[in-house]
Structure 1
Amino acid sequence: MNAMKILHSESSRGWGGQEVRTLKEMLALREREHTVELVCPRGAKIGVRSAELGFAVHHANMRGGGDVRSMMSIQALLRRSAFDVLNTHSGHDSLVAGTAGRLVGTPLVVRTRHLALPISSLATYTWIPHRVIAVSHYVRRYLISAGVAAGRVETIYDGIVKPEPIARSTLRAELGLGPDAVIGCMVAIMRAKKGHEDLITAARPLLAVRPNLHFVIAGNGDLFERIKSIVDGLGLGRRIHLLGFRTDIPNVLRGCDLFLLPTHQEALGQSYIEAMAAGLPVIGTNVDGVPELIEHNVNGLLVPPKNPDALRVAIVQLIDNPGLRTQLGKEGRRITENGFGIDNMADETIDFYRRSLRRLEQRA
């Protein structure tokens, strides 16, 4: 089998790490001359962006397992286009599209598990898909402990587009900050458990005594207005800069001195990979899949989750030790140069599809 026909399904209407990974994967597989299409609800952000990039985008609500209309629509699509692979990503589309795929006999139905949350439907990992992709070893171990057969689930790490060299970041000029400013950066969708309030709590005492210290937070989401009201209410709007959604994350990262994401829960953490690729020392939390990316005192620092005091200590450690920042940043860049590229993710995914199809054919 050479080129394959692959349909991705996504019932989420939002935009976060899961959707970013899926779209990057779609682009990389298309570059390898595979036919890649998407089915999602009308208005879903991944659908809008995929259409802008020239993908064929089909629409179905996929409201839940009882959405018979969506299931019939996807069955017709799968029959009409004879896809080799259906790759589902969220709970509702795994029920609706995944079941449609099994009913029409799609050769390979795959579920990708992007999250470190407890699973809500074991059937969307056992009965419906033929195989499962986990984005970290932590997620794979959890799925196996929940009842997914070890031979059905494989880890494929997130991949990032390696940043092009940037002569000079425009971030400091944008914010009116000079070369003497020390800037910490956080990139994350603004939703619960990402740790935005932990950062503010950790930063507040430092900002009172370190006039050259600033923090930038890139990302939007449901909690944006809440975080903005906290920052403004503390009078820190000139020190904690809320950038909103950005399309120039490499430019933002290059303008900073360190990266931190005090998340409470994380399957892996694309933002850490992007920061390491930019040569920044990273501060992460010792939860879920994060330690698979960050080795304490090697390419970053790990602190307990929900612990602003420990986060503050780690920030001070990096601020006051430029040599340590350089050392950790160099090691982080070295790690990403040897892995975590989008090419790695795409090649491993295609290999996984092909091996799975061969095994299913042999079993049949």
Structure 2
Amino acid sequence: MLTILHTESSTGWGGQENRTFQESIGLKKLGARVIILCQPDSMLGKRASAEGFEVRTCRMRKSYDILAIKFILKLIRNEKIDVISTHSGRDSLLAGIAGRFSKRKPIIVRTRHLALPITSKFTYSFLPHRVVTVSEYVRNYLIKEGIHSEKIVAIPTGIDTSKFSPEKTTENLRQELGLEPDIPLIGTIAILRRKKGHHILLDAIPLILQKIPEAVFVFAGDGPQKENILNKIHTSGLSDKVFMLGLRRDIPEILKSIDLFVLPTLQEALGTSFIEAMAMEKPVIGTDVGGVGEVVRDGINGYLVEPNNPSALADAVIKILENRERAMAMGMEGRKIVEQNYTVEKMCEKMYALYSSLLKDKTS
């Protein structure tokens, strides 16, 4: 049995932690033994424990934490770890060093989840045997930074298409908000950070309302920009047009309820929220940044617009809302793209195949 150790020094919960969690579930289904190493107060640890995973906790106080390295070395030896899969900067360094010093010589794979500049080439070029990126965009960025191309493989994030399924989901948001069935409803689901571009959509909404005055917008999510967004909604006179839903657990139901998904992000490694909306057969509008263009195919399953351009964003929204048949066709295309490229099963099969091939090369 293949024994995989996932390491994560981040304590929060976002796309990165969710991918690690979904990977763990999928790899376990494929017959691997999965152990998750995280900080004692980690959200991933809590979710993984609830799911029945073997979870180990260790303080990872700094990048060169000798006690943490010793803990991981012992874990590798006692649990006979074959593969170490690292995810954040700190655990990639600690687990990478431990893996390299271990007599078991486990395979080390680092996943790069973000579209941000890297801070340490060492944890990409020397410590891991392979680097996995969530998009071709991030892969190409690492190559430009001097990481050898043959060392990097893009394996895009997949989603659970049985959870994000139009047939298995009921619509509830319109009733909750007291909206008529034919009111155009535009949704944005993202953490409330400035780089997600909520402020750009708020600048576009008055332009959209000039053409489609009955349109209503919902923002699902929480984050540091909450007060700024609320203030902008109020000062723009949009309080009866933009509803803040807060942090929600019923994302498939929200996506089922909307007509169109919009996220004018300014920075994105891939854009899992687009994939989730596409799986729910919704047309999507994104900005031509990072890996977004790999999932949003302009004119096929939605539109790609220039970043930080409220006017272009408004035009794209109006274009979709004014042609319901085209919108439905785009939604159907989106679901097809997800089924072909972005399922959690495909992601896990590719990760398992990568681990297996690296272990085979090691022993041959």
- One fold, TM greater than 0.5? yes
Task: Report what 1:111 is aligned to.
Answer: 110
Moved more, 262-271 or 243-252: 243-252
- Partner deviation per Cα, 1:100-159 (whole Å, 9 max, x = no partner): 121114421110011111111001111111111111111111111212112211111111
Identity %: 43
Q: Distance in 1 between matches of 2:76 and 2:193?
A: 35
- Partner deviation per Cα, 1:69-113 (whole Å, 9 max, x = no partner): 222222222221111111001111111122112111442111001
Letter aligned with residue 126 of structure 2: W
Do residues 157 (structure 1) and 188 (structure 2) align? no
Deviation of the 1:192 alpha carbon: 3.1
Structure 2 unmatched ranges of 5 or more: none
Letter aligned with residue 324 of structure 1: R
- Partner deviation per Cα, 1:20-39 (whole Å, 9 max, x = no partner): 11111111111223111211
Secondary structure at the residue paired with 1:87? strand
Deviation of the 1:340 alpha carbon: 0.9
- Partner deviation per Cα, 1:290-327 (whole Å, 9 max, x = no partner): 11112211111000111112111111111112122122
Match of 2:97 among 96, 99, 106: 99
Q: Are the counterparts in 2 of residues 86 and 106 from structure 1 also a CA contact under 8 Å? A: no
Letter aligned with residue 8 of structure 2: E
Pairwise CA RMSD of aligned residues?
A: 1.6
Match of 1:261 among 256, 260, 263: 263
Q: Distance in 1 between matches of 2:105 and 2:216?
A: 52
Q: Distance in 2 between matches of 1:267 and 1:149?
A: 20
Moved more, 100-109 or 170-179: 100-109
Moved more, 112-121 or 352-361: 352-361
Do residues 141 (structure 1) and 101 (structure 2) align? no
Moved more, 223-232 or 340-349: 223-232
Q: Are the counterparts in 1 of residues 208 and 315 from structure 2 also a CA contact under 8 Å? A: no
Distance 1:208 1:115, change over 3 A: same
Task: Report what 1:331 is aligned to.
Answer: 333
Do residues 240 (structure 1) and 242 (structure 2) align? yes
Match of 2:36 among 38, 42, 50: 38
Equivalence map 1:1-364=2 (5 Å):
3-104=1-102, 105-162=104-161, 163-164=164-165, 165-166=167-168, 168-207=170-209, 210-362=212-364
Moved more, 39-48 or 57-66: 57-66
Deviation of the 1:209 alpha carbon: 6.5
Q: Distance in 1 between matches of 2:122 and 2:215?
A: 50
Letter aligned with residue 247 of structure 1: R
Moved more, 241-250 or 133-142: 241-250
Q: Distance in 1 between matches of 2:192 and 2:363?
A: 44
Distance 1:76 1:237, change over 3 A: farther
Letter aligned with residue 314 of structure 2: R
Moved more, 51-60 or 17-26: 51-60
Moved more, 254-263 or 226-235: 226-235
Deviation of the 1:235 alpha carbon: 4.2
Report how many aligned residue pairs link the two structures: 360
- TM-score w.r.t. the length of structure 1 is 0.94
Deviation of the 1:208 alpha carbon: 6.4
Moved more, 58-67 or 153-162: 58-67
Deviation of the 1:337 alpha carbon: 2.2
Moved more, 230-239 or 137-146: 230-239
Letter aligned with residue 227 of structure 1: I
Distance 1:187 1:50, change over 3 A: same
Q: Distance in 1 between matches of 2:52 and 2:30?
A: 15
Moved more, 77-86 or 201-210: 201-210
Letter aligned with residue 194 of structure 2: A
Q: Distance in 2 between matches of 1:329 and 1:209?
A: 22
Q: Distance in 1 between matches of 2:180 and 2:325?
A: 20
Structure 1 unmatched ranges of 5 or more: none
- Partner deviation per Cα, 1:174-223 (whole Å, 9 max, x = no partner): 11111121111111122231111111111134346644211111222232
- TM-score w.r.t. the length of structure 2 is 0.94
Q: Distance in 1 between matches of 2:259 and 2:82?
A: 46
Q: Distance in 2 between matches of 1:106 and 1:119?
A: 26
